[in-house]
Amino acid sequence: SAVISQKPSRDICQRGTSLTIQCQVDSQVTMMFWYRQQPGQSLTLIATANQGSEATYESGFVIDKFPISRPNLTFSTLTVSNMSPEDSSIYLCSVDLTGAKETQYFGPGTRLLVL
């Protein structure tokens, strides 16, 4: 497995502002993923972040709203831009340790409330 940390663990933000969420892994991984979990819902993949290339966004998510950085093999950030109350969710990062699609391990999540 892997030890994955996220910062912040939670935040309350004002409408129109931006928040950057950090994801740190204790080992080098090729593939990192960002998910959104709206209240009472399952997870929705936002984007896949590979080191050295642009993030790949899923339908319904755009780079201007959710810019992602992946500067090295152990770290990634997700920014939620120009926030609205509809962005209130838990945001989770995950990693595929082997690249073999066997298992994704998740960070503890960031709980975001937008007022």
Partner 1 sequence: AQTVTQSQPEMSVQEAETVTLSCTYDTSESNYYLFWYKQPPSRQMILVIRQEAYKQQNATENRFSVNFQKAAKSFSLKISDSQLGDTAMYFCALIMDSNYQLIWGAGTKLIIKP
The Cα–Cα gap between 75 and 85 comes to 27
Residue 65 near residue 83 (C-beta atoms within 8 A): no
Length in residues, the chain:
115
- Only segment of 11-19, 37-45, 68-76, 79-87 that touches partner 1 (CB under 8 A): 37-45
> Which residue stretch of 11-19, 20-28, 74-82, 98-106 sits at the interface with partner 1 (rule: CB under 8 A)?
98-106
* 64 touching partner 1, by CB under 8 A: no
Assess 86 for contact with partner 1 (CB under 8 A).
no
- Least distance to partner 1, CB of residue 42, Å: 4
Give the one residue of 39, 42, 52, 64 binding partner 1; rule: CB under 8 A. Answer: 42
| Exposure b/e, 63-81, CB count within 10 A at least 16 = b | eebbbbebeebbebbbebb
Q: Considering the rule CB under 8 A, would residue 7 count as an interface residue with partner 1?
A: no
Cβ atoms of 46 and 37 closer than 8 Å: no
Which 3 state secondary structure label does DSSP give 86?
helix
Given the rule CB under 8 A, which residues bind partner 1? 1, 31, 33, 41-43, 45, 48, 58, 90, 92, 94, 96, 101-106, 108-109, 111
